[in-house]
Amino acid sequence: MSKYNNKPEDNPTIRIVVAGGDKLDPKMLDFLPPELREMIKKDIAGNGGSGGKTPDKDTEEEIKSTPKSKIKFDFGMTNCNQDLKVLVDKLKASNHTDYGILLYGISGSGKSYFGQYLAQELGMPVIKKRASDLIDKWVGATERNIQEAFAEARKKKAVLIFDEADSFLFDRSYAQREFECASTNELLTQMEDHPYPFIMTTNLKDKIDKASLRRFLFKIKFDYMNEKHVNAGIKTYFGKKFKLTAKQAADFKYLCAGDFKIAKRKMDVLENGAYTNDKIYEYLLAEQKEKDIKTSTPLDV
């Protein structure tokens, strides 16, 4: 029996030829039986080989030009020591890009997210680095990683964001060995003459080296929401028809934007998105209680 009487899909040799069909010399196909020749041609076309259909140019351009989803930032939910909307508008209109911004304050308040939003509004790409991306156990490696991050930002004309800045910009007065200051020294040097915006975020501003503060043109504190911010958050996450009573709103002293995201997600899962004012209050209160914040009270005399 001829070897070509076997089913092509059962022949391992044929599978190899088909898989590498896009590199096969077309003249070799003339030596194969017609049935097998057509099968290989179809397989080459399906794998994007030379026998395949050329993608429509208009389709390619459409895919390339499809914009990424735009970041939206709710200024009404942020309680800062500076008006962020005014700041963004002024930075967009400014001719200067050589400035640093320190975003500090409570966890989950949207510091890093704001940094990405600002980059978007400035029309600049963003490079984001965490402590784990930069800190290395080998002496000198952390400094090299910092150098490379700033070099990449200069090359791409990008906004550089460092999260957890306290991890590598720690106060040098606490260092016990000279090499422990190296990463802070390198970072301060790179910040000094950097031509594009750099943003550092931290939950622990007190841990940051004091000399570094003058490198930041803007130092913005993110704090817990007050009643106005809480109601703004409810509208953003649950809809305009929902609003807490004054008594309910007064119970919230330690909420931030991240708590709304978690509360809504829980309600979507456990309540199937059936929002009510009381349920929203209940779920947000549960998030606040999870923080277990200790508050001091006057001693009884």
Question: What integer is the mean pLDDT of 125-132?
Answer: 87
For the chain, first and last CA: distance in Å? 107
- Is the pLDDT at 286 greater than 60, yes or no? yes
Q: pLDDT tier at 133 (50, 70, 90 boundaries)?
A: confident
Both 124 and 194 in one domain: the answer is yes
Secondary structure element (H or E) that encloses residue 105, with its range: strand 100-105
> Which tops the pLDDT comparison, 139 or 188?
188
Both 90 and 219 in one domain: the answer is yes
Q: pLDDT tier at 90 (50, 70, 90 boundaries)?
A: very high
- Is the pLDDT at 235 greater than 70, yes or no? yes
Residue 39, pLDDT score: 66
Question: Could you report the per-residue pLDDT of 98-116, keeping only the tens digit for each?
Answer: 999 999 999 999 999 999 9
Both 217 and 252 in one domain: the answer is no
- 3-state class of 241 per DSSP? coil
Range of the domain at 12: 3-57
Q: What's the CATH number where 211 sits?
A: 3.40.50.300
Residue 140, pLDDT score: 72
Both 232 and 173 in one domain: the answer is no
Both 128 and 7 in one domain: the answer is no
Both 83 and 210 in one domain: the answer is yes
- Is the pLDDT at 54 greater than 60, yes or no? no
- Is the pLDDT at 294 greater than 70, yes or no? no
Please report whether residue 300 resides in a domain: no
Both 109 and 184 in one domain: the answer is yes
Contacts 24+ apart (CB under 8 A), 259-266: 259/108, 259/284, 259/287, 259/288, 260/77, 260/233, 260/234, 260/236, 260/284, 261/237, 262/287, 263/237, 263/287, 264/237, 264/238
Residue 187, pLDDT score: 83
- Is the pLDDT at 280 greater than 90, yes or no? yes
Both 206 and 111 in one domain: the answer is yes
> Which tops the pLDDT comparison, 33 or 160?
160
Rg (CA), the chain: 29
Both 91 and 51 in one domain: the answer is no
Residues 198/191, Cβ–Cβ less than 8 Å: yes
What CA–CA distance (Å, rounded) separates 9 from 192?
65
Residue 192, pLDDT score: 87
- Is the pLDDT at 168 greater than 80, yes or no? no
Percent of the chain with pLDDT over 70: 70
64's tokens = 């390339």
Q: pLDDT tier at 300 (50, 70, 90 boundaries)?
A: very low
Please report whether residue 152 resides in a domain: yes
The number of distinct structural domains making up the chain is 3
Residue 15, pLDDT score: 45
Nearest to 215, CA basis, from 162, 179, 276: 162
Both 83 and 28 in one domain: the answer is no
- 3-state class of 277 per DSSP? helix
Percent of the chain with pLDDT over 90: 48
pTM of the model: 0.71
The mean pLDDT value of the chain amounts to 79
Both 86 and 112 in one domain: the answer is yes
> Which tops the pLDDT comparison, 273 or 113?
113
